[in-house]
Structure 1
């Protein structure tokens, strides 16, 4: 008899993975698309917001270059946010046999 727990939030019954994890959403085929839309939104939103701030400062100070600096700052900030949220990295390791690539628990490296 199996001791797996089945819950409403986790129909697969795997108690080690909470429902709604990135691995689960990537498993249904739309995880990469959703991450791409989120990255696009962060970058475009950052450009729009910081360009408007730069435009306002240009208007107040009588300059013409702050809007461009704001757009660049917004793009960099949007990419930074998407990177910090883990949206720019691949969720599946490419190639290999799935073995761990970091140091082992005893501190020695398992690199070949």
Structure 2
């Protein structure tokens, strides 16, 4: 049985996904791939479900445009769900934003 190398901040009970797994980066255990697939499935699922509802209403009422409105509603709804679940916003695993905010530690703003 081989021992896996652990970083100093990692506890013994946590299981990390190896970096060799396709679609999963070493920095982020769930990776952007999983978030992308979730966004894709929300949008495609919304389009399919609401298109079928629109198709049924078109057949019921004898129209031809509700299926298109249903597809657009499904796409917008899928994007809204993925945005509300936090899948469309960029993530930074260090907990900080990409740019520093607020004054520096020494109180100097470094403005020129």
TM-score (ref. length: structure 2): 0.63
- Name the structure with the higher helix share: 1
Structure 2: gaps spanning 5 or more residues: 1-8, 17-24, 103-108
Structure 1: gaps spanning 5 or more residues: 13-24, 103-109
Cα offsets for 1:26-84 (capped at 9, x unmatched):
73465101100000000000000000000000000000000000000000000000000
Q: Is the 8 A contact 1:43 1:75 kept in 2?
A: yes
Asked whether 1:87 is paired with 2:102, we answer no
Task: State the partner residue of 2:22.
Answer: none
Which stretches of structure 1, 4 residues or more, deviate above 3 A after TM superposition?
4-7
Asked whether 1:27 is paired with 2:45, we answer no
Give the superposed CA RMSD: 2.9
Q: d(CA) in 1 for partners of 2:45 and 2:15?
A: 36
Q: Is the 8 A contact 1:26 1:32 kept in 2?
A: no
TM-score (ref. length: structure 1): 0.63
